[in-house]
Structure 1
Amino acid sequence: MKGMCDMELNKVNKKVEDIKNNDNIFSVGKVIKVNPYTVIVSGLNDITYYEEVNIDDKAKGFVFTVGKNNVTISLIEVKEKINPGDSVYALKKQFKCLFSMDSMGKVIDIFGNDLIAGKKFDNLVEVSIENDPIPIMDRDLVTREFLTGITGIDMLYPIGRGQRQLIIGDKKTGKTQIALDAIVNQKDKNMVCIYVAIGKTKKEVKDIYYDLTKRGAASYTIIIASFNDELPNRTYLTPYVALSIAEEMMMDSYDVLVIIDDLKKHADVYRQIALASGKTPGRDAYPSDIFYAHSRLLEKGCQHKNGGSITILPIVETKSSDITDYISTNIISICDGQLVLSSKNFAKGQKPALNYGLSVSRLGGNVQDPDMKKLGSLVRRELLEYLEVRDIYELANIDEMGEELQHRMKEGKKILDKLSQNKFSPKSKEEMLSLYKFLEEGEDNASR
């Protein structure tokens, strides 16, 4: 009994000390319902989104939704069991995460912890979960090329610095590998890379970290991870914090590449939190604002007029090659193009397993130099014609075809074979152009 009295006395003394230090807490509410990842609180009238709260020193979180008579608090750290009736204190400040520039080349979480070394960084600065959107007048045209080192992308579906290009496909088709190849190819290109791992296992993240380290790419890369055994609320915040960090760097005129692996898991986590908190489900049981949740995240990708940029490569995993499901179509409509990977092509040994018919870049030749634009257009036209003919004559004997058709099939196969590329073996523009020199020579001969 004496121990309980001492605990209550300590709480009172702490609150008195807070008042003396001008840390007075202005708004107090009560927990009325406890959900798996959230709590419903009444009595917090003067409160805003993302405001930090303390629940009787048992847990901390932030305001997730604001209702007419109550608010939903998203739990970030839970020390003790929360019960209905517990007091909730609004701290009159925005919930912020932590980051250190010393984390370059490390695996970190959104609270400034080095997940490999198991310690907290020094020189931590606070990072907002979300910043105000960048005004249109502060954005510039995307005209500078972003090279992945992959011929099938840089030549046929080029990406610009400041573009949002989706990588989409079934499980085990090489989506993450394309993203890692792009990171490795940024060596000596003045690009900061941020890889956001959402819901991956610790082993998967460690493997990615060691792959990048072995190839000298870790020195300009930050891996921000939220593992599959963490609170869903932390996982939900991870890509927003990563983009806030990228924005800070862009405002300092850095070019930043952000890879989000993957947004389908992020959508599933948001659905999990929303259903547990009693939010009204919409299509496929996702909350009705799932499109807004992803659009406000991906809109941060841009070319800023100060010279900095954020290039975003979000990844989405599909099932049975269906790119028309709810989340996939949402993100396709937000992005500036998509790289579609095919499990059928992967099974045939085509690496990377791109579906060249369904992939598209809406910026295209606008970000290519004249030589790449001219040759890339020719390669794409010849390749797509070949793929169309190949699908029709897939089971036919090539020796029974006409001479012209045989020639087209052989030339098309030659083009496709030259697009084959092993992982972590980036090609320069000069190497890509030399691969298809024969096509230009053939065009010149035909025109004479």
Structure 2
Amino acid sequence: MSELASNLYGPDAFHQLAAARGKYIFPFALCEAGYVTSVSAGIAKVSGLPGVGFEEMVKFSETLFGIAYNIDEAEIGVILLGEDADLNVGDQVERTHRVMDIPVGDLLIGRIINPLGEPEDGGAAIAATQRLPVERRAAAIMDRAPVAVPLQTGIKVIDALIPIGRGQRELILGDRQTGKTAIAIDTIINQSDKNVLCVYCAIGQRASTVAKVVANLREKGAMDYTVVVVTEGNDPPGLKYIAPYAATSIAEYFMEQGRDVLIVYDDLTHHARAYRELSLLLRRPPGREAFPGDIFYIHSRLLERSTHLSKDLGGGSLTALPIIETEAQNISAYIPTNLISITDGQIYLSPKLFELGILPAVDVGKSVSRVGGKAQLPGYRSVTGSLKLDYAQFEELENYARFGTRLDEATRKTIEHGKRIRRWLIQHQFNPLSVAEQIVVLLALTEGYFDTIPITIFDEAEAGLLVASKELPDDIKSRLVSDKPLSEDDKNALLSLAKKALLPFETAANEPKSDRS
């Protein structure tokens, strides 16, 4: 009778029943166990666990666990969190009575781990004293504060025209090999003196690609404040599926300590494909482009966890930079449109600009930040002016001028000014610029100081101005990063500095060729 009761009601109900009678029938704890009925690539079907809960961990062996995902009447579908080479039909499966969790804490900083919390850098095991579930509820609306503090990327086109705030979710999308990861890595490197912790989550990436990213972070000293969560392309789809959630739990731990955190998901295309693979194996009905209908939900519940907490909860923030890959510049595909609608803006990288050597290949016309100037330093708003509009007009006029039409003087000046804006967009990788450096160049650009300098020596002139900007007084530098607009006195001082720094390049441009030779 006791075995029958255990099988029908599960160990929890059985122990409660026995306790109500005043004694246990057995002097030892019962373990609810089932058996494997089938095994596929990345999933297993299990019977004999009537009390198992949704997303509860089940144990196949000391090294292999899974997550109960399909809860059917006769059997459950389990997502495997490891290799299934040694798993066979008939093997025993046990309940663990807990959900998937991951170690968190300061010990993770500088480490490379997998989504299970196991080290991938050859170091010692993570001896964390605290663990958090990988799936957690997002902060309630009343627990959030407005996004008002900028997250400086060090990339001038983003900080000036597509500003990102702490607590924002800004999508990075574009075709293969257009520099999406480069923008994210430059942003991480720029946080070295900003008191921002970083979490880089590689989802289904090649091992060589991840090794290169980690090497760059180590070389620039960024691993001192970065946690890397890795799944490789040959890992089971279950690990790829839980990777971004595990990385977010690590980031949330620091956010709840009142710290500012940046998390990069590289990339959610592989995450969506891993979930599609699991769903098809679990016989979930496919929808558009064979993705299940709840693919929007799994990404929205992930990205909704990024926020800026209120002061009562410590005031920490979690900024997300999800990366997505498009095919043939098709941003209207299913997954890109989902993520565009979830996030607070997008940075679109154009393969055409990439081919022209304009790096980073940010398409200013298709990129937007829905937080916008509210998360931008007032100093930028004082100098950017109509920069974005001027560039858009230039692109239209440039296409028109290709027909060989005779141009009036105003149109010619607009095109020449636009060419210098396009040249200004170029920035070398691993070369983030400070706020003062960016604002000085921006002000000179918008005021037309570069228009009299030939485009062929624009880079030299900009480099000379950047060197001169380091001579700015500390009080002006501090005001540039403050929450106050740029005063007329400070603006005049910057213009005077720019004029003086650019004068040699204007003089060289006006010299006759024979004299310069």
Fold shared, TM-score > 0.5 on shorter chain: yes
Q: 1:50 aligned to 2:58?
A: no
CA shift for structure 1 position 351: 0.8
Distance of 1:191 and 1:397 partners within structure 2: 51
Distance of 1:163 and 1:57 partners within structure 2: 40
Q: 1:227 aligned to 2:232?
A: yes
Residue 113 of structure 1 is matched in structure 2 by 118
CA shift for structure 1 position 312: 0.2
SS at match of 1:93: strand
CA shift for structure 1 position 91: 2.0
Distance of 1:147 and 1:91 partners within structure 2: 44
Q: 1:342 aligned to 2:347?
A: no
The aligned amino acid for 2:216 is D
Residue 11 of structure 1 is matched in structure 2 by none
User: 128, 140, 147: which one pairs with 2:145?
Assistant: 140
State the number of aligned residues. 423
SS at match of 1:321: coil
CA shift for structure 1 position 60: 2.2
Unmatched segments (≥5 aa) in structure 1: 1-18
User: 390, 398, 421: which one pairs with 1:415?
Assistant: 421
My pick for the range that moved more, 97-106 or 359-368, is: 97-106
The answer to whether the Cα contact below 8 Å between 2:69 and 2:76 also exists between their aligned partners in 1 is: yes
Rg (Cα) greater in structure: 2
Residue 428 of structure 1 is matched in structure 2 by 434
1:368-412 deviation digits (Å, cap 9, x = unpaired) = 12221232342112112212222333x2458x3211110000011
My pick for the range that moved more, 297-306 or 100-109, is: 100-109
User: 399, 404, 408: which one pairs with 1:402?
Assistant: 408
SS at match of 1:203: helix
CA shift for structure 1 position 124: 5.5
Distance of 1:356 and 1:180 partners within structure 2: 20
Q: 1:368 aligned to 2:396?
A: no
The answer to whether the Cα contact below 8 Å between 1:149 and 1:182 also exists between their aligned partners in 2 is: yes
CA shift for structure 1 position 308: 0.2
SS at match of 1:416: helix
Distance of 1:213 and 1:374 partners within structure 2: 36
Q: 1:127 aligned to 2:132?
A: yes
Distance of 2:252 and 2:147 partners within structure 1: 17
Residue 202 of structure 1 is matched in structure 2 by 207
The answer to whether the Cα contact below 8 Å between 1:167 and 1:338 also exists between their aligned partners in 2 is: yes
Distance of 1:58 and 1:358 partners within structure 2: 47
Q: 1:89 aligned to 2:94?
A: yes
User: 213, 216, 219: which one pairs with 1:211?
Assistant: 216
The aligned amino acid for 1:282 is G
Distance of 1:89 and 1:440 partners within structure 2: 67
Distance of 2:280 and 2:81 partners within structure 1: 17
Going from structure 1 to structure 2, the CA distance change for 1:125 and 1:376 (only over 3 Å counts) comes to same
Q: Identity, % of aligned pairs?
A: 36
Residue 286 of structure 1 is matched in structure 2 by 291
Higher strand share: 1
Residue 277 of structure 1 is matched in structure 2 by 282
CA shift for structure 1 position 121: 2.7
The answer to whether the Cα contact below 8 Å between 1:35 and 1:277 also exists between their aligned partners in 2 is: no
The answer to whether the Cα contact below 8 Å between 2:171 and 2:343 also exists between their aligned partners in 1 is: yes
Distance of 1:404 and 1:281 partners within structure 2: 56
SS at match of 2:81: strand
CA shift for structure 1 position 37: 1.2
The answer to whether the Cα contact below 8 Å between 1:257 and 1:312 also exists between their aligned partners in 2 is: yes
> Higher RCO, 1 or 2 (CA under 8 Å, sep at least 6)?
1
The answer to whether the Cα contact below 8 Å between 1:183 and 1:193 also exists between their aligned partners in 2 is: yes
Q: Normalising by the residue count of structure 1, what TM-score does the alignment of the two structures yield?
A: 0.89
User: 316, 320, 327: which one pairs with 1:312?
Assistant: 320
Q: Normalising by the residue count of structure 2, what TM-score does the alignment of the two structures yield?
A: 0.78
